Amino acid sequence: MIRVTNLIKDYKTPDNNLLRILQIKELVIEDGKMFGVCGVSGSGKTTLLHILTGLLLPTSGDVLINGVYINRLSESKRDIFRANNIGYVFQSFNLIPYLSARENILLAMWIGKKMKKQEREKRCDELLEEVGLSNRAKHLPNELSGGEQQRVCIARAIANNPLIIVADEPTANLDSQTKFQIINIIKTLCVQNKTTLILSSHDREITQDLHEIVSLDAVKKGE
C-alpha cells in the first residue's frame, strides 16, 4: 500500500518567493489497484510521480510504501528501493540510444533484482514476445517507431517484477490508435503480474476505466 500524508512541494522562484506546486493532505493507493492521476499541463502530475518514486523529495510530508518511508531514505537507498520495487514508464521513452531493445531491458534487470544471466535472458525474451517485439529485439531505439519504443519501455519497467508501475503520460507522443494499444499492454501486464499501476494523463479517455482517479486540478482548488 502507498500512503501520502500532508504532502507539500514548494519551489523557489527567481525573485525568492515560494511557488506551491503540490499540496495533498492524504492519498492512499491500495495494492493491485489501477490508479489515475489527472490534470492539465502544469498541475503537478509529474512532480507527484517523482515524489512517489523517490526521484524527488517533498518540501514536507511523508510517502509510505509497504512500510518504508521512502522520503526519509538517503539518495542511494532510494535508488535501490526504486530499482527493486518500482518500474517507470516515461513519456519521452528514455531508452539508451546505443543499446538494442533487448539490451535496454536486460540492463534494467542487471541493475535491479539480481537474477542469473540465463534467467534474465529468458525473462527478457518472454517480455519482448508479450509486447509484440520479438522480431525487433536487435533494433536500436532510432530504428523503432514511437509505439515500439514505448513497448520496450513497458517491458523494461515490468522486467524486475516490481510492486508498482508508474506511467507518466505514456501515450502523449503517440497517435490515437497506438495510444490505446499501449494502455492495453500496460493494464494487461499489471493484471497478470498483480502490480499496482499509477498512471498520469491529461487525457480522460486513458484514465476513465481505472479503479480510482485523483484530479490535481480539483486538489489545487480544495475540492
Nearest to 109 by CA among 85, 83, 91: 83
Tell me: the pLDDT tens digits for 110-147? 876 667 889 999 999 999 999 999 999 999 999 999 99
Q: What's the pTM value of the predicted model, to 2 decimals?
A: 0.88
At 222, is the pLDDT very low, low, confident or very high (cuts 50, 70, 90)? very low
pLDDT confidence bin for 221, thresholds 50/70/90: very low
CA 110 – CA 120 distance, rounded (Å): 8
- Computed over every residue of the chain, the mean pLDDT equals 90
- Give the CA distances from residue 109 to residues 68, 90, 124, 141, in Å, rounded to whole numbers and listed in that order: 22, 17, 9, 18
pLDDT tens-place string over residues 146-191: 999 999 999 999 998 899 999 999 988 888 888 889 999 999 999 9
> In CATH, what number does 32-55+75-220 get?
3.40.50.300
Per-residue pLDDT at 218: 57
Contact between 154 and 189 under an 8 Å Cβ cutoff? The reply is yes
Cell of 131: 509486447
Tell me which of 41 and 81 has the higher pLDDT.
81
- Going 96 to 106 to 193 to 29, the CA torsion angle's sign is negative
DSSP designation for 175: -
User: 10 and 17 in contact (C-beta within 8 Å)?
Assistant: no
